[in-house]
Amino acid sequence: MSHAQRLRQTIEDEIVDGVLRPGDRLDEVQLAARFGVSRTPIREALLQLAVTGLIEVKPRRGAVVSTPEPARLIEMFETMAELEAACGRLAARRLTDAHQRELLAALDACRMAASAGDTEAYYAENAVFHAVIYRASRNGFLCEQAVTLSRRLAPFRRIQLRARNRLRQSLAEHEGAVEAILAGDEALAGERLRAHVLVQGDRFAELIRSLPGGSAAA
């Protein structure tokens, strides 16, 4: 792996993990000093991240962590909801004993984090929970697409978990999805996961208000 690829992965992980937030500026000079490299691999890493959509290169501002327009964000969440629904349907049809154990363990971890009211812990366990469902679909290509878009939306999924009572609601939705998957009910599993991921109404308004400049847009 080249310097640029390693730097790209590190910066991407920091965006996904919330260290770098939507709207944050990514200064090449500061990043080069921080990582002890020249600006060339930093520039290459940022160009690679721009292709994924995680960052944008703006006139006079340089590279910033992406903050999509509300309409674009809706489209992304709609697509994610359909990918999740497809994974859920296939998981309900193809669930193995090993994946069932992983799914139940991931759900228990979400319960513990929600009971503690720990948003950051819940966010981490939530990512594990959804990744298990992707793998349980046993469709490698679908799993790859779901993981890619999930990482692209990770900063915004983290933000919405901070909304009042969202942890409790999210956990209830997880429990409903698991119930349908374990029952082998493909249609219900897909429906529940689609509804779980879609961000509509008050939830979407809250998300937009949380973004840079969001109070004016909302």
The predicted-structure confidence for 22-64, as pLDDT tens digits, reads as follows 889 999 999 999 999 999 999 999 998 998 888 998 887 789 9
Global pTM value: 0.81
Is residue 203 predicted with pLDDT exceeding 70?
yes
Over the chain, what is the mean pLDDT? 89
How far apart CA 44 and CA 42 sit, in angstroms, is 5
Q: Write the CB contacts of 54 (distance below 8 Å, at least 6 apart in sequence).
A: 12, 15, 65, 66, 151, 152
Give strand pairing partners of 55: 65
Model pLDDT for residues 145-185, shown as the tens digit of each residue: 999 999 888 888 887 777 778 899 999 999 999 999 999 99
Q: Architecture of 70-217 per CATH?
A: Up-down Bundle (1.20)
What is the maximum span of the chain, computed from C-alpha positions, in angstroms?
55
Q: Order of strands, edge to edge, in the sheet holding 55-58?
A: 25-26, 62-65, 55-58
CATH number, domain 3-65: 1.10.10.10
Which residue ranges make up each domain of the chain?
3-65, 70-217
**8-state DSSP, 161:** T
- Which pLDDT score is estimated for 30? 94
